[in-house]
């Protein structure tokens, strides 16, 4: 029997079906659920998760993991709010935070590479350390107020007609996805990331700069997390040290649901966007339901993550069998 | 020319013990040198021990009082790390266990039943982790990350997002009780007993050898006939059960189950206690006494923070820096560099 899609595309196809099914479920159960304004809002609400997920996709593609995402988002958020409170211009504060985020990622990558430490322990220390650093800066939520931010949120919107304004952050998410897509698919760096994640030893022997690639991957992830933190801050108009707890699970889940293998070497950036949208729709469904405990969100995300990992394993087994009988599976991305 | 000799097996408990001594000295110096401070043993000093209601009290006693949680968590985590795994969900399992016991107790069930169910459910959580790691072949940090994030939600659902206070003499005894014949709290005796049982189980049977074999080279161990999968599931079940006991102690200490804060930020501390106690993250070796002393070191660090007025929220920052330093000191490239220097 010939399947209409190749085994590698099954998870993406399943994810697409789940997204359609979830939106359908919402449309049947609730009035206005599948309306355009509602779904456009979803993109804006989950923009920060999406931006952080694009960075994390590169890390996971390279065979690593980043558990410090949530804490870095919270740290950026608290630092920005605190700087603005002390009279900084939002643009200056943002620039500093982006530099700090990238620098933090660089140190992480350097520790992983130079000392051959497991990525999870380095980023776990980052997760706890940065969260504590948030409380060092501000013990509680800091709200921000600045004429520049008011101007941005009121004027820089895309009028999509029908009284719907698409906020800047949704466009930023789409821009990050496009840049990430090009970076992963059409640059030397992207190719190196796939090579390192697929087989580090083989990549090394072929002359891929494994060390530099690893360090740049974490730098990129740190930058994306900081950018996500800025989007989050300006969206919530506040910096809260207790925000974005557990974001790392959402990020890993969106990356995996989008078809990226946790073992590295296989995956795509647009898939990650699909994963983020699924998580967003689930969150929206639980919010619409009203009387459901918000803890259900993390339970649903965890179950979905495990479900997709199970699916990947299953396809991996089938793929292995087809390889043994002469079929082949392309592990590398197609050459453009 | 020096003949390279096999490295002498140093007692791994030495490093955490030195760490404890260092922390106590630093604290004593602070007290001694601070202008207007309490002096070396004056009231309020770190080394000051007084009798409160016939019970010894002071920072040093606090370390013994509250150290049991860390020690038990570290005991549970040691076999997991020795077999190349890690469990990030211990904090959330603690919250679940406390929530189960408190909810049962408020529902009028006898203490024995609440305790058994709480520890049983904690062990089931461990089984869940173990199956994900061993059967589904997930990386341990991803498998247990799911329960770390979602488990706290489960605990909140059990207590209906509230802090559930309970009044049950037996349950409270686990955390606050003191036998009349010993000046130590029951929780500390419990931790000591668990340590003893674990050491006997690991060192007087083949279990320790099997665990180190699976951690050292899983494939070789499997080919040699070790049932690695079953063993790995077992380590996670044990880790879950230990986290359950630690959760009972944490709940008993405050006579309430707090699903939001119970066991928060303890995951890294538990891993740190195990690693500083001589069980490397790369597996293959196992040191229970070292882990237990490492647990006490963690409590010493925490108590130091409190006496220096550093809040619980900020405390993980120095912890994270110290664990990174310990990992770097034990990392393969650094060890190779040191060996090179020693050989010259």
- Domain ranges, ordered by start, for chain B: 55-343
The pLDDT of residue B194 = 92
- For chain A, say whether B26 makes contact (Cβ under 8 Å): no
Q: Note whether A129 contacts B153, CB cutoff 8 Å.
A: no
Judge whether A2 lies within some domain.
no
**Backbone region of residue B4 per phi and psi (left: phi > 0; alpha: psi in -120 to 50; beta: other values):** beta
Judge whether A1 lies within some domain.
no
Cβ–Cβ < 8 Å for B294, B16: yes
Number of structural domains chain A divides into:
1
Judge whether A331 lies within some domain.
no
Nearest to A77 by CA among A26, A24, A130, A121: A130
Which residue of chain A is at minimal alpha-carbon distance from B318? A129
Judge whether A200 lies within some domain.
yes
Q: Note whether A132 contacts B150, CB cutoff 8 Å.
A: no
What burial letters (b/e) apply to B134-151, b meaning 16+ CB within 10 Å?
Answer: beeebbbbbbbbbbbbbb
Cβ–Cβ < 8 Å for A38, A281: no
The pLDDT of residue B161 = 80
pTM recorded for the entire structure: 0.87
Residues of A in contact with B321 (CB under 8 A): 125, 129
Q: Note whether A302 contacts B265, CB cutoff 8 Å.
A: no
How far is Cα B341 from Cα B322, in angstroms, rounded to an integer? 24
CATH value at residue A228: 1.10.3470
Domain B55-343 in CATH 1.10.3470: yes
Alpha carbon of A197: minimum distance to chain B alpha carbons (Å): 15
Which residue of chain B is at minimal alpha-carbon distance from A118? B281
Q: Could you tell me how many CB contacts below 8 A there are between chain A and chain B?
A: 120
Alpha carbon of B193: minimum distance to chain A alpha carbons (Å): 30
Alpha carbon of A163: minimum distance to chain B alpha carbons (Å): 38
Judge whether A335 lies within some domain.
no
Judge whether A185 lies within some domain.
yes
What is the ipTM metric for this complex?
Answer: 0.84
Nearest to A120 by CA among A63, A61, A201, A168: A63
Position with higher pLDDT, B5 vs B68: B68
Output phi, psi for A206, to 5 deg: -80, -5
- For chain B, say whether A310 makes contact (Cβ under 8 Å): yes
Residue in A111, A248, A298 closest to B150 by CB: A298
The pLDDT of residue B77 = 93
For A299, the domain range is: 9-323
Structure confidence by residue, pLDDT tens digits, A101-152: 999 999 999 999 888 888 888 999 999 999 999 998 888 888 888 787 777 7
How far is Cα B275 from Cα B281, in angstroms, rounded to an integer? 7
Structure confidence by residue, pLDDT tens digits, B173-209: 887 777 777 777 888 889 999 999 999 988 888 888 8
pLDDT along chain A (336 residues), means of 10: 63 85 85 76 87 94 92 94 88 93 94 88 91 88 81 66 72 91 91 90 88 93 94 86 87 91 87 91 83 79 87 75 48 43
Alpha carbon of B191: minimum distance to chain A alpha carbons (Å): 26
- For chain A, say whether B309 makes contact (Cβ under 8 Å): no
**Three-state DSSP state, B107:** coil
Q: DSSP letter at A9? A: G
Judge whether A174 lies within some domain.
yes
Tokens representing residue A242 in the block: 């207790």
Nearest to A262 by CA among A127, A125, A120: A120
What burial letters (b/e) apply to A104-121, b meaning 16+ CB within 10 Å?
Answer: bbbbbbbbbbebebbbbb
Report the 10 Å Cβ neighbour count for A270: 16
């Amino acid at each position: 029997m010939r399947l209409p899609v190749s085994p590698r595309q099954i998870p993406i196809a399943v994810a697409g079906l789940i997204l359609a099914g979830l939106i359908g479920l919402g449309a049947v159960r609730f009035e206005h659920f599948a309306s355009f304004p509602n779904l456009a809002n979803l993109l804006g609400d989950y923009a920060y998760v999406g931006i952080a997920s694009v960075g994390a996709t590169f890390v996971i593609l390279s065979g690593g993991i980043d558990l410090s995402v949530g804490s870095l988002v919270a740290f950026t958020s608290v630092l920005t709010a605190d700087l603005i409170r002390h009279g900084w211009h939002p643009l200056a504060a943002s620039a500093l935070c982006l530099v700090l985020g990238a620098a933090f990622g660089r140190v992480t990558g350097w520790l992983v590479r130079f000392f051959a430490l497991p990525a999870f322990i380095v980023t776990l220390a980052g997760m706890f350390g940065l969260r504590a650093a948030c409380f060092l800066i501000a013990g509680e939520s800091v709200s921000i107020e600045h004429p520049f931010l008011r101007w941005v949120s009121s004027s820089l919107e895309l009028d999509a007609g029908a009284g719907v304004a698409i906020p800047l952050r949704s466009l930023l998410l789409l821009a990050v996805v496009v840049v990430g897509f090009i970076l992963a698919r059409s640059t030397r760096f992207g190719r190196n990331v796939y090579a390192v994640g697929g087989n580090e030893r083989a990549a090394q022997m072929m002359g891929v700069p494994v060390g530099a690639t690893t360090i740049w991957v974490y730098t990129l992830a740190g930058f994306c997390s900081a950018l996500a933190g800025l989007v989050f801050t300006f969206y919530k108009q506040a910096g809260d040290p207790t925000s974005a707890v557990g974001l790392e699970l959402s990020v890993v889940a969106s990356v995996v649901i989008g078809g990226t293998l946790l073992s590295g070497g296989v995956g795509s950036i647009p898939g990650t966007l699909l994963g983020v949208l699924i998580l967003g729709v689930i969150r929206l469904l639980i919010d619409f339901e009203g009387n459901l405990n918000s803890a259900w969100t993390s339970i649903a995300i965890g179950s979905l993550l495990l479900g997709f990992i199970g699916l990947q394993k299953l396809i991996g087994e089938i793929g292995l069998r087809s390889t043994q009988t002469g079929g082949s599976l392309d592990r590398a991305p197609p050459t453009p | 020319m020096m003949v390279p000799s096999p490295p002498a097996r140093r007692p791994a408990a030495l490093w955490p013990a030195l760490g404890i001594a260092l922390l106590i000295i630093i604290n004593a110096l602070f007290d001694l040198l601070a202008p207007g401070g309490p002096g070396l043993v004056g009231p309020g000093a770190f080394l000051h021990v007084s009798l409160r209601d016939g019970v010894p009290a002071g920072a040093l006693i606090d370390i013994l009082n509250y150290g049991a949680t860390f020690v038990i968590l570290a005991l549970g985590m040691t076999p997991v790390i020795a077999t190349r795994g890690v469990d990030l969900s211990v904090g959330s399992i603690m919250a679940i266990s406390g929530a189960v016991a408190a909810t049962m107790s408020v529902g009028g069930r006898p203490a024995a039943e609440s305790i058994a169910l709480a520890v049983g459910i904690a062990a089931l959580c461990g089984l869940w982790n173990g199956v994900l790691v061993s059967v589904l072949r997930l990386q341990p940090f991803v498998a247990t990350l799911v329960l770390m994030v979602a488990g706290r939600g489960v605990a909140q659902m059990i207590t209906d997002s509230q802090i559930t206070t309970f009044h049950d003499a037996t349950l409270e005894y686990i955390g606050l009780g003191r036998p009349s014949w010993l000046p130590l709290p029951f929780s500390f005796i419990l931790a000591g007993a668990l340590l003893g049982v674990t050491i006997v189980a690991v060192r007087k049977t083949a279990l320790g050898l099997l665990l180190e074999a699976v951690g050292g080279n899983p494939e070789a161990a499997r080919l040699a006939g070790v049932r690695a999968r079953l063993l790995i599931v077992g380590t996670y079940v044990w880790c879950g059960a230990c986290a359950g006991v630690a959760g009972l102690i944490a709940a008993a200490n405050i006579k309430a189950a707090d699903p939001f804060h119970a066991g928060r930020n303890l995951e890294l501390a538990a891993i740190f206690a195990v690693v500083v106690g001589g069980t490397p993250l790369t597996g293959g070796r196992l040191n229970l006494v070292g882990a237990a002393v490492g647990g006490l070191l963690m409590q010493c660090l925490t108590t130091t923070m409190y006496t220096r007025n550093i809040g619980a929220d900020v405390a993980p920052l120095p912890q994270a820096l110290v664990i990174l330093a310990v990992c770097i000191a034990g990392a393969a490239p650094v060890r190779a560099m040191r060996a090179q220097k020693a050989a010259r």
